[in-house]
Amino acid sequence: MAKELYKLPPLKYGYADLAPYISEEQLRIHHDKHHQAYVTNVNSLLEMMDKARKEGTDFDYKAVAKAVSFNLGGHVLHDYFWREMTPASNASKEPVGELADAIKEDFGSFERFKKEFSQVASSVEGSGWAALTFCNDTKRLGIMQIEKHNVNLIPYFPIIMDLDVWEHAYYIDYKNDRGKFIEGFWNIINWEELDKYFKKIQK
Ligand code: MN
């Protein structure tokens, strides 16, 4: 089977389309530089391992396992992040469909969910993410606080929505005001798309 490498996914909207919540400059650097770096890094690691295996040489197994998890985690989380956003003029501002019902059932209301998710995002120590997830065993939605790209993840819990709260996600637009960035994020969520993921991940 022909092996492939990871690719930076193109955005489904223009770089300026998420303004004023995410500026063109911020989005360009975030997507083209930061996300690209994770893709480049994980691909280099894969190529290095291919080469070492072919030549029968060793590499630092512990460090490489850690670096693959970090960089591939970064790639995957950014991929979700870009896909779940849409220009504010298209955004429905509130959840729709089955996801709207599940949020209401599990959290009591969208307002309550929004508060919990925002708190989880704002309290990440250092760099990380907040992510909405779903457990197929218990049929419960949950919120994960992911440190860096790969710490505190619950294995096999699929991600419906995530929010990048690394400083590189907001420092150009908001300086150190993470809370303001989180507030803005609620205006550019593609709830129709999230409802589709929610249907897809249910077993
Ligand atoms: Mn990021």
Which domain covers residue 169, as residue numbers?
23-203
Expressed in angstroms and rounded, the spacing between residue 54 Cα and the centre of ligand 1 is 34
Strands 140-147 and 159-164: unpaired
Q: What is the CATH number of the domain that holds 82?
A: 3.55.40.20
Residue 1 belongs to some domain of the structure: no
The CA 29 to ligand 1 mean position distance, Å, reads 10
Residue 7 lies in a domain: no
Place of tokens 């249907």: 199
Distance 112 CA to ligand 1 centre (A): 26
Please give the share of the chain, as a percent, with pLDDT higher than 90.
98
Q: Is 6 inside a domain boundary?
A: no
Q: Is residue 200 part of a domain?
A: yes
Q: Is 116 exposed, middle or buried (0-12, 13-18, 19+ CB in 10 A)?
A: middle
What would the pLDDT profile of 12-61 be if each residue is shown by its tens digit? 999 999 999 999 999 999 999 999 999 999 999 999 999 999 999 999 99
Exposure string for 23-36, b = 16+ CB within 10 A, e = fewer: beebbebbbeeebe
Q: Please give the tally of structural domains in the chain.
A: 1
For residue 87, the CA-to-ligand 1 centroid distance in Å is 18
Q: Ligand 1 center to residue 168 CA distance, Å?
A: 6
Q: Looking at the domain assignment, is residue 17 inside a domain?
A: no
d(CA 199, CA 196): 5
Residue 18 counted as domain residue: no
Q: What is the pLDDT of residues 79-125, one digit of tens each?
A: 999 999 999 999 999 999 999 999 999 999 999 999 999 999 999 99
Q: Which residues have a Cβ under 8 Å from the Cβ of 171 and sit 6 or more positions away?
A: none
pTM of the model: 0.96
